[in-house]
Amino acid sequence: MESQINQLHELVAAREVKKAEVVIARLLRSELPPEQRTELLILRARTRLLAGRPADALHDLAEIKAVAPSLLSEPSLLELQAESYLTQFEVAAVGFAQKSDVREASRIYQSLIDHHPDYENIGWIYYQQGRVALIEDQPFAAESYFHKALFAASTVVALTAYCYERLGFMAYYESRQPRQALVYLNKAIDTYPASASPLWLVQVYLLRSRVLRESSLEDALQSAKTAYKLAAEFPANKALAAEALFSVAEILAQQAGREQEIVDYLQRFMQTSKPPLGVDVTWSRAYEMLGDSYSTLGQYEQAAAAYENALQCNPYHPWAESLHYRMGRALYQQQKYADAIAALNRVVAETSDYRIYSLLGNALFAIGHYAEAASAYETGIRMAPPGADTQSMQTYYEFSQQMNPPL
């Protein structure tokens, strides 16, 4: 039995969750002394937490408390209990997360800090309490906990990197100090153990890329590409790879002359990410960037289709008017004048953009609807702001009137 328990400890340490659960289930079906059954329940609680089933882990801890209540005062089990409550909050579906889980986790973490300051993993406790403080919108308290975690004992080999990453996140999003954020994020990368999985670094490089956009697009691009390269090593985790691909495309979209690269990265994003079933602003933005790139490349059919998809993915798009204009322009370039008119007519009644009336007038003129074209041009000229170049509209307005003389 002792050898089997040791094997289980090794499986849990290696995160071989499924194998561990199979062995534990088999052993729990046999007749066992109370202390061995309790040890198995503790191991099962750990495996269930690793498997993302915190409610089941808490159920095991409740069973342990019923048969051996004194065990639940041990620091390692208090930590396990707090982790389960915090994870239960984090994995809950939107609208079902309970703040009471966060408060219970915080209470247990604080109890460990107050009563077990020499606990071998107290650094991790400070770190987790810092994460709780962020959830509770207490950035100053969170920063203090992360700094304490940096200099406290811990069994988590990557804790220093984790702390620097959170400090970098806060420096950028809470304090708006991009330079300080970069210092922390670079330290997170430098202190992350070589023996640990590089998957965690993907988010660090993505955050670093976000910060760098304010100072150097090329450096930001390289950081995002590094994130993708790391994510690509883990084909099972497509979500991270898709996030990195989208980030690369976003940065490229801020640089002229890189349209073909944008198309390539967005196509890979769409092949990697799951198509949305409903409203999805990320996919809407991806289609919008794709449409802009295709349009610049002169591939107007693809551009029009991309803009239509952008609107389908986000019918409440804040720049729907602009998307309809760009779609109308792409259709006009293909000489699909009726389709261009239909696209523009969806927004023409509410628009304040004189360019929409200019393009609408051009499409109407092209199919010989001169009276309607003249009306569109006239409205566009009247709506144009001071200094706008309306010479072309004025010229075609006059042509429209000549082609459609009054009776």
Express each pLDDT in 76-95 by its tens digit: 999 999 999 999 999 988 77
Confidence of residue 148 (pLDDT cuts 50, 70, 90): very high
Average of per-residue pLDDT across 88-105? 88
Quickly state the pLDDT bin for 127 (edges 50, 70, 90): very high
DSSP 70: G
- Give me 321's structure tokens: 């008017």
pTM exceeds 0.75 for this model: yes
pLDDT at 34: 81
What mean pLDDT comes out for the span 49-74?
90
Give the 3-state secondary structure percentages of the chain, helix then strand then coil, rounded to 5: 75, 0, 25
- Supply the mean pLDDT for the chain: 92
Predicted local distance difference test score (pLDDT) of residue 23 = 77
Q: Residue 232 pLDDT > 50, yes or no? A: yes
Counting other chains too, the contacts that 237-240 makes at CB distance below 8 Å and 24 or more residues apart are 237/199, 238/272, 238/273, 238/274, 239/273, 240/199, 240/202, 240/203
DSSP code of residue 255: S
User: 407 pLDDT band (50/70/90 cuts)?
Assistant: very low
3 state DSSP class of 180: helix
Percent of the chain whose predicted confidence (pLDDT) is above 90: 74
Segment (H or E) for 161: helix 159-173
> Does residue 362 carry a pLDDT above 70?
yes
DSSP H stretches of helix in 273-299: 281-296
- Tell me what the mean pLDDT of segment 275-296 comes to: 94
